[in-house]
Amino acid sequence: MPDFRPPEHQVAGHRASANKLGPLIDGSGLFYKPLQAEDRGEHELAFYEAFSTHAAVPARIRDTFFPRFHGTRLVPTESRPGEPHPHLVLDDLLAGLEAPCVLDIKIGAITWPPSSPEPYVAKCLAKDRETTSVLLGFRVSGVRVVGPGGTVWRTERPEVKALDTAGVRRVLRRYVSSVADEGMDCALAAAVYDGKRGVLSQLRELKAWFEEQTLFHFYSASILLGYDASAVAASGGEGGVRVKLVDFAHVAEGDGVIDHNFLGGLCSLIKFISDIVPEIPETQPLGPS
């Protein structure tokens, strides 16, 4: 039997426990996400089944920015002994990173699909207004940073919900800082954010697709950023920077219309991160002299 356990690097959503269903990993590079209640789980499953074989989705976009879908599986859980629960089986997006630093960002000023019932719309609208979703087009859902000596800095849910614009900037800076406490030296910004395959490069490639794609509208989906703090510290390189889209329980058909809600939030995120990257002097040599 696989060794199912909650992922250490989880920063948002319910954590698997004796009282709640939550995502699990098995150590083999797979991630198990429990099907959500009501019709959300079936909706997300239907999206994965359609998206994974959709002829109009470029293979590079699917393989680079989305979790690989491996079907479903009944998995035993601590919260429901003797009653296995259906889970989506996906790639563990942070597998192979020795010291994963993770940032979960929910994209879009509107986080509910058009077909949502009025009580759900009211609930989402209240949360979007209380956070930075309406103002910025995105909000931070959680962050985990591994510092020197393996020290871990992470945000708690009340802190995340209270973030304003200045707080979002602080989190984006803290995510690429090398210090062990609350300091923000942004020492890793050039490598993680501005590298050849850094966050900005990948977000801009994703943006180019969203400027054209009219297949889906990604309500309440998140962008997950990840990198290996150990690799960056050791080599000064990019540390396996990963940019992935996750959470598709509220995806709607695009009906030939560009997803301006997601695209607007993505452009806003790119602008915020671009402001953090230090300017590289024009006189800096491009290669060995």
Which residue range is the domain that position 235 belongs to?
Answer: 100-275
Tell me the CA distances in angstroms from 214 to 13, 66, 223, one per residue in order. 28, 17, 19
Residues 51 and 109 in one domain: no
Q: At 261, list the tokens.
A: 């809600």
pLDDT of 264 over the 90 cut? yes
pTM to 2 decimal places: 0.88
pLDDT reported for residue 57: 96
Q: Which residue has better confidence, 157 or 118? A: 118
Please choose, from the candidates 103, 109, 131, 155, the residue with its C-alpha nearest in 3D space to the C-alpha of residue 268: 109
Integer Rg of the chain from CA: 19
**Is residue 160 located within the same domain as residue 107?**
yes
Q: Looking at the domain assignment, is residue 156 inside a domain?
A: yes
Read off the CATH number of the domain in which 132 is found.
Answer: 3.30.470.160
Q: Is the dihedral of CA 72, 251, 41, 24 positive or negative?
A: positive
Q: Which of 55, 72, 91 is the last residue of a domain?
A: 91
The mean per-residue pLDDT over the stretch 77-82 comes to 71
Total residues found in the chain within this entry: 289
By the 8 A CB rule, do 229 and 99 touch? yes
CA 133/CA 267 separation, integer angstroms: 13
Across residues 174-186, what is the average pLDDT?
77
The number of domains in the chain is: 2
End-to-end CA distance of the chain: 56
Q: At 143, list the tokens.
A: 């962050």
- β-partners of residue 252 are 217
Decide if 163 contacts 139 (C-beta within 8 A). Answer: yes
pLDDT at 151 over 60: yes
87 near 26, Cβ under 8 Å?
A: no
Residue 14 domain flag? no
